[in-house]
Structure 1
Amino acid sequence: MDTLNDQSKICVNNVTKCFSSKQGEVTALKDLSLDIRDGEFLVVVGASGCGKTTLINMIAGFDTPSSGEILLDGKPVTGITPECGMIFQQYALFPWKTVQENVEFGLKMKRIPKSERKAIAAKFIDLVALNGFEKSYPHHLSGGMKQRVSIARALANDPEVMLLDEPFAALDAMTRQVLQEQLVRIYEKHKKTIIFITHSIDEALLLSSRIAVMTARPGRIAQEIVNNLPHPRNADVQLSDNYMALKRKIWDSVQAEVLKSMEVETG
């Protein structure tokens, strides 16, 4: 793969996020700092409740830090921005629109001419291997196909950053593996800056150029691990000694944080 740009695309600087609950104030993140380089595929893993989704929602501009700041290209993130494309675990497609119309939606909002947006949508529908399903509605599609529509829609808008919050978690194991490998191929081709949230160490290793392990709540970065597994990434990579060594290293870190979170919950 090409060498990554050393310039930081996103800077998370000493971010703390607190929420009010019936039990009082909850600190989801505390003094969390993280830099994501331009063209990097960063995967964030950690125990349930450690603040992974809170972090990605603030990067997307859906929420704001209680203190600290998040910068995109050196400018504070103050709200939702077209520079970031978000893909959720739930597919978030418009059920009354066809595959073609869903992929074209963002382009239509940008007032791109009909013929041009049709050509752009066709390009990305082809990229996610959904040719022949352009006129299908979401209820005619499998879960994996719906998520491919979501990916095509995000890519069609040409965002600088793609944010994915456990997008494959609800899929069966075989579909998940296929989409993981497809996402890696898309990354290798387009070199988008990607931040991907997951609970799966195997998924993190297959996808990432770097892995950030979060602590138990309040979330901070416990460890950052460069993923030097060779490309192309596919299921065969999982059989290598290097893969198993990296998996053990990440598991040791995640396991320690899971145990901490259990101790907190049981008091």
Structure 2
Amino acid sequence: MISIRGVSKSFGDNHVLSNLDLEVKKGEFLVLLGASGCGKSTLLNLMAGFEKPTQGSVSVNGKLIDDVTSACGMVFQQYALFPWQTVQQNVEFGLKMKKMPKGERAEIARRFIEMVGLKGSEDKYPQALSGGMKQRVSIARVLANDPDVMLFDEPFAALDAMTRQVLQDQLLSIYEQSGKTIVFITHSIDEALMLSTRMVIMGSRPGRVVQDLRNELPHPRTAEIQLSEDFISLKRSIWETVQEEVSRTLAATRG
């Protein structure tokens, strides 16, 4: 579904990514992990077409990405909802821009509003919603546009721990229902283990893949799984890799 070949990205003298190769299969839930500054968000922006690589190529579903593409839908950390529009209108927005008939787009929006657990909130405005509810509206809006790939840039980072856990459970349910290919950024190893089918750990200066892991933890992944030996062992292994990369980066910075 996603093919990244020999990608490097620089902003002036700042070399963010270097000769990075990555393949993402259809239906995977890939989580990108790594310390701040390792290029995770830049990589996501390249997939979405918000940025262009300095070298190399990015393709989604066999099509070279050289501009913003409807093949990818992005969910940001900030909710980016229109405050003057209701939940229903926000979710319909992309469909309206596509000139879809009013009745058809309303039906699609209602279906995804229900999928994210907001049935009954269609006529509410963003200021009447909690942070978790706003993020669910953002997810529903992306789903309504039916992209090939959903990109998540730390979407739950600003939420409290309990809300974050609830939204992780809901996102897993949405993933299983929709069958979408997902690429998700997080700094949380626990979150990566709860959500992913595969995890890529990135190193920095410049950004590159240092570890690529399958996540074979069984479903359903309830909170109790975090106490299992398999979960703890995998978390320890990932933490050792991340800690080593952070230490290497700090040493290079001091040098």
TM range (shorter): over 0.9
1:264, CA displacement in angstroms? 2.6
**Does structure 1 conserve the Cα–Cα contact (< 8 Å) formed by 2:17 and 2:206?**
yes
So what's the TM-score if we normalise by structure 1? 0.94
Counterpart pick for 2:239 among 235, 243, 251: 251
Q: How many residue pairs align between the two structures?
A: 255
The corresponding residue for 1:64 is: 52
In the TM superposition, what is the alpha-carbon distance from 1:47 to its structure 2 partner? 0.8
Query: Using the alignment, how far apart are the partners of 1:256 and 1:76 within structure 2?
Result: 35
Matched, 1:149 2:137: yes
- Is it true that 1:174 corresponds to 2:162 in the alignment? yes
Structure 1 match to 2:19: 31
Which 5+ residue runs of structure 1 have no aligned equivalent?
A: 1-8
Query: Matched residues in 1 for 2:254 and 2:121: separation?
Result: 50
Matches within 5 A, 1:1-267: 9-20=1-12, 25-267=13-255
Give me the CA root mean square deviation. 0.8
Q: Distance in 2 between matches of 1:89 and 1:217?
A: 24
What letter matches 2:30 in structure 1? L
TM-score of the aligned structures, taking structure 2 as reference length: 0.98
State how far apart, in whole Å, the 2-side matches of 1:93 and 1:266 are: 41
4+ residue stretches of structure 1 with deviation over 4 A? none
Asked if the contact 2:61/2:148 (under 8 Å) is kept, the reply is no
Query: Per-residue deviation at 1:266?
Result: 2.5
CA shift at 1:75, angstroms?
A: 2.1
In 1, Cα distance between the equivalents of 2:33 and 2:200?
Answer: 6
Contact 2:16-2:204 within 8 A present in 1 as well:
no
User: Any gaps of 5 or more consecutive residues in structure 2?
Assistant: none
* SS of residue paired to 1:64: coil
